[in-house]
């Protein structure tokens, strides 16, 4: 009998992070320090520590009581999960409240570790690192809206530019505006005049970070009937989102479709989050709004990585890990990724840097459904990929990788794809998924899903648009009707004259 779970990577050592925010407190236990972090356990409480801090200057006493009680559970959960270290960070409310230091000391006694109370500058830096870790080559302004403050930071690639912390967190803004959404808009407009870095954001991306904005985006998804309920890298069209933001900022949210899917504790802050985003759009004039599921907490985790780990591609890293856990051979998947790149060049297929990344990820994930019933391998793989917690990839890219897997298992048929998934993929990605899927259907018949053969398969040109796939002579037994049929199908998809033969 096999003992122990094989569903986790054996070289990882769990660690926990507790994030004490002005509105929520969250415990996240990660599988280990990695470029694409995987969550073992995740729990939050909406304590509301910063509620009323504007008028009282102190943390809410009932919130303090609840938080202190919960810290014991968080520590026990961390220990139960086998976390080898516990990191605790605290943000705006804890650093600004008159009784913040007392609260921190009590929390440290319970948690048994020092709490890192972040300064505004540190909070902004970790917010920026969270976006840098979550997106491939980000370029824009990262905005992290918490309960007590808003951090705005310019990010470009791995570089962190100007940043500013503003007192515009949802709870604080609600208090300052005395529950008036109209007054909130005036306060936001006044405060954002100090954020001169927004002038450099015109036409670039605004990365929306934080629970309030994630819930705002979830409401937007529901309102427009968006087909893929994956929060990370959800993109809101700037111009089309204006009426939605205006409606939410006015407080008129009860009639918006999907409002019942937003927790009641979160609904009260949606108008204030919308007001802040609305004014940022007016001031910055971004080219697009993109939601990030990663923020300060993940930025802190990213800061613990080595330079080599930071340089890794988060999408490829995650795809390799999933391949290790679910494929018959990760070496076969890597061979497929390399070989398809060479084949695309031979076919004259031009790839952008992102398209090449997505193709590689698709190859690494091409065999993750092999344990499923043959009739459902494609569908299962599509669902796993479309809904996986990948970072470093946009939603059309997800659709491309998922559809490639569907075609690889179920055949190159248009009627197996839903209209929603096809639209999400875009016409270019859709056709590219058919081509890559058809190519995989040839290779898997010749390799039996095992490494060693793929690097020896060679395309030889016979004419301008005519190529022959040569099988090495010592593998001549792999020839047969099915590979010939698959190559013929590939030829139709690729628009080329393709054949298969044994090398002399």
| In contact, 470 and 457? CB cutoff 8 Å | yes
Which one, of 42, 261, 277, lies nearest residue 145 by Cα? 277
Instruction: Tell me the longest C-alpha to C-alpha distance in the chain.
Output: 86
| In contact, 30 and 42? CB cutoff 8 Å | no
User: Tens-of-pLDDT digits for all 504 residues of the chain?
Assistant: 445 667 888 889 999 999 999 999 999 999 999 999 999 999 999 999 999 998 899 999 999 999 999 999 999 999 999 999 999 999 988 999 999 999 999 999 999 999 999 998 999 999 999 999 999 999 999 999 999 999 999 999 999 999 999 999 999 999 999 989 999 999 999 999 999 999 999 999 999 999 999 999 999 999 999 999 999 999 999 999 999 999 999 999 999 999 998 888 889 999 999 999 999 999 999 999 999 999 999 999 999 999 999 999 999 999 999 999 999 999 999 999 999 999 999 999 999 999 999 999 999 999 999 999 999 999 999 999 999 999 999 999 999 999 999 999 999 999 999 999 999 999 999 999 999 999 999 999 999 999 999 999 999 999 899 999 999 999 999 999 999 999 999 999 999 999 999 998
478: number of Cβ within 10 Å: 16
> What is the SS3 string spanning 114-150?
CEEECCHHHHHHHHHHHHHHHCCCCEEEEEEECCCCE
Q: What is the distance between the alpha carbons of residues 19 and 430, in angstroms, rounded to a whole number?
A: 40
Angle among Cα 436, 441, 442 to the nearest 5 degrees reads 100
Q: What is the distance between the alpha carbons of residues 464 and 474, in angstroms, rounded to a whole number?
A: 29
Q: What is the distance between the alpha carbons of residues 444 and 421, in angstroms, rounded to a whole number?
A: 25
Whether the full predicted model's pTM is greater than 0.85, yes or no, is: yes
Q: What is the distance between the alpha carbons of residues 209 and 130, in angstroms, rounded to a whole number?
A: 9
Domains of the chain: 15-117 (3.30.420.40), 121-299 (3.30.420.150), 314-502 (1.10.3210.10)
| In contact, 420 and 221? CB cutoff 8 Å | no
Residues sharing a CB contact under 8 Å with residue 353, sequence separation 6 or more, in sequence order: none
Strand 235-236 vs strand 150-156: parallel, antiparallel, or unpaired?
unpaired
Which one, of 211, 212, 185, lies nearest residue 281 by Cα? 185
> What is the SS3 string spanning 25-51?
EEEEEECCCCCCCCEEEEEEECCCCCC
Q: Which residues pair with 289 in a beta bridge?
A: 206, 236
Q: Where are the beta strands (DSSP E) in 343-496?
A: 458-463, 466-471
Which one, of 67, 147, 49, lies nearest residue 110 by Cα? 67
407-436 as b/e, with b when 16 or more CB fall inside 10 Å? bbbbebeeebbeeebbebbeeebbebbbbb
- Beta-sheet strand order (sheet of 205-209): 159-166, 150-156, 139-145, 205-209, 288-292, 235-236
Which one, of 80, 69, 147, 78, lies nearest residue 107 by Cα? 69
Q: What is the distance between the alpha carbons of residues 124 and 121, in angstroms, rounded to a whole number?
A: 5
| In contact, 142 and 207? CB cutoff 8 Å | yes
């Amino acid at each position: 009998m096999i003992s122990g779970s094989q569903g986790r990577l054996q070289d990882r050592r769990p660690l926990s992070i507790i994030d004490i925010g002005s509105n929520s407190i969250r415990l996240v236990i990660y599988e280990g320090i990695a470029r694409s972090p995987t969550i073992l356990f995740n729990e939050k409480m909406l304590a509301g520590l910063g509620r009323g801090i504007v008028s009282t200057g102190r943390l809410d006493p009932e919130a303090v009581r609840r938080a202190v009680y919960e810290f014991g559970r968080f520590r026990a959960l961390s220990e139960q999960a086998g976390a080898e270290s516990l990191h605790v960070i605290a943000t705006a409310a804890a650093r600004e409240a008159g009784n913040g230091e007392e609260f921190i000391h009590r929390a440290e006694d319970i948690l048994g570790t020092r709490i890192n109370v972040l300064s505004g500058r540190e909070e902004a830096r970790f917010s920026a690192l969270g976006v840098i870790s979550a997106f491939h080559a980000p370029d824009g302004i990262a905005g992290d809206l918490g309960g007590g403050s808003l951090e705005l930071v310019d990010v470009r690639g791995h570089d962190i530019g100007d940043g500013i912390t503003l007192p515009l967190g949802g709870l604080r803004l609600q208090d300052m505006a005395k529950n008036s959404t109209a007054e909130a808009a005036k306060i936001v407009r006044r405060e954002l005049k100090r954020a001169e870095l927004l002038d450099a954001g015109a036409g670039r991306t605004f990365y929306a970070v934080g629970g309030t904005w994630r819930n705002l985006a979830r409401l937007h998804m529901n309102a427009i009937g968006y087909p893929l309920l994956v929060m990370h890298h959800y993109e809101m069209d700037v111009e089309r989102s204006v009426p939605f933001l205006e409606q939410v900022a006015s407080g008129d949210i009860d009639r918006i479709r999907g409002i019942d899917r937003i927790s009641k504790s979160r609904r009260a802050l949606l108008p204030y989050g919308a007001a802040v985003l609305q004014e940022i759009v007016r001031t910055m004039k971004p080219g697009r709004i993109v939601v990030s599921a990663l923020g300060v907490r993940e930025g802190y985790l990213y800061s613990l990585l080595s330079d080599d780990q930071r340089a890794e591609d988060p999408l490829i890293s995650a795809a390799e890990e999933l391949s290790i856990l679910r494929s018959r051979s990760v070496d076969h998947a890597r061979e497929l990724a390399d070989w398809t790149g060479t084949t695309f060049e031979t076919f004259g297929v031009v790839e952008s840097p992102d398209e090449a990344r997505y193709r590689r990820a698709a190859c690494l994930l091409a065999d993750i459904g092999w344990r499923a019933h043959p009739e459902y391998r494609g569908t299962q793989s599509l669902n796993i990929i479309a809904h996986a917690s990948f970072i470093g990839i946009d939603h059309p890219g997800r659709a491309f990788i998922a559809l490639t897997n569907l075609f690889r298992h179920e055949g190159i048929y248009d009627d197996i794809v839903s209209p929603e998934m096809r639209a999400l993929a875009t016409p270019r990605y859709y056709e590219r998924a058919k081509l890559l899927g058809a190519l995989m259907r040839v290779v898997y018949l010749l390799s039996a899903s095992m490494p060693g053969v793929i690097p020896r398969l060679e395309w030889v040109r016979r004419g301008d648009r005519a190529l022959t796939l040569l099988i090495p002579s010592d593998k001549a037994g792999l020839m047969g009707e099915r590979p010939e049929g698959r190559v013929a199908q590939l030829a139709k998809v690729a628009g080329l004259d393709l054949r298969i033969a044994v090398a002399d």
